[in-house]
Amino acid sequence: MIEDLTDEQLERYARHLVLPEIGDEGQEKLLAAKVLVIGAGGLGSPLLLYLAAAGVGRLGVVDDDAVDLSNLQRQVLHNTDSIGRHKVESAIQRLKQVNPEVEVTPHKGRLTPETVMEVIADYDLVCDGSDNFATRYLVNDACYLQGKTLVSAAIMRFDGQLSTFKAHARHDHEEAHPCYRCLFGEQPERDPKQSCADVGVLASLPGVMGSLQATEVIKELLEIGESMSGRLLLYDALSTTFRTIKAKPDPACPLCGSQPTITSIEPDFYRPEEAVCAT
């Protein structure tokens, strides 16, 4: 834990420090925190920017893609000069401009069953902003097996969803903390016509959902407010409505149920997909 905030930190985080729910102690927790963000695209852009601005001490960034002109309609972490650069490199440059004292660790490449456990091991919390079910299920399983809290968001067209998953914290409370599999069941077959590239996404939508995701990350790190665990938030941009669905653990869940069949990350179990983080 950081002993004392410097004069520069006192000024930079002044609006946090006057919040009784955060204060000096909370800000020191943020500065000591390590958060992994999967995807430096649409959701990852506002998420990373706000976590860096908030003073999360170490941010890991996972992405295997390069910046393309078509990304700039919504991926506000990058700019026109970033076209052709690896998104992780572009992200590091921008985040250092936002907050030079934040450490940014690059993870260039895809998360795979062979690498996921090693990548997430050194982080306190994981954020998923990927654009495909293969990554979402893989990350969910790895986080559960390693006892890591997962804050997950997804977007498409004019709709967004958000939840927090920490089934590892259930203990004796059987109706608390479902995992991603409890809510969505078995991994569906890949539909090549169900990506943002095919059906589109509103430019500002990832800004809404990524900002909400950042808020939930900060809440979890500081243990303040009401967790989104056990609740799925649905946002409809066209009607400007938010709807929350309550969810309970599935006793038959193959990961966190009473008789689990998923007890390790087995490469042959996960269906590969071409893209990892391109929202």
CATH number of residue 87's parent domain? 3.40.50.720
Question: Pick the residue with more confidence: 3 or 82?
Answer: 82
- CA distance readout (Å), 242 to 6, 238, 239: 40, 11, 9
In a domain, 194, yes or no: yes
Query: Quick check: is 2 in a domain?
Result: no
Mean per-residue pLDDT, 196-204: 86
Number of domains observed in the structure of the chain: 1
- Asked, for residue 66, whether it belongs to a domain, the answer is yes
Q: Is residue 87 part of a domain?
A: yes
In a domain? residue 277? no
**pLDDT tens, 98-156?**
999 999 999 999 999 999 999 999 999 999 999 889 999 999 999 999 999 999 999 99
Cβ–Cβ under 8 Å, residues 44 and 129: yes
Sheet holding 58-63, edge to edge: 103-108, 58-63, 34-38, 125-128, 149-156, 159-165, 231-236, 241-246
1 occurs within a structural domain: no
Evaluate whether residue 13 is within a structural domain.
Answer: no
pTM: 0.94
CA distance 231 to 258: 21
Q: Domain limits at 116?
A: 33-269
Per-residue pLDDT tens over the stretch 184-195 = 999 887 655 566
pLDDT above 80 (res 210): yes
Residue 150 lies in a domain: yes
Q: Which residues contact 118 (CB under 8 A, 6 or more apart)?
A: none
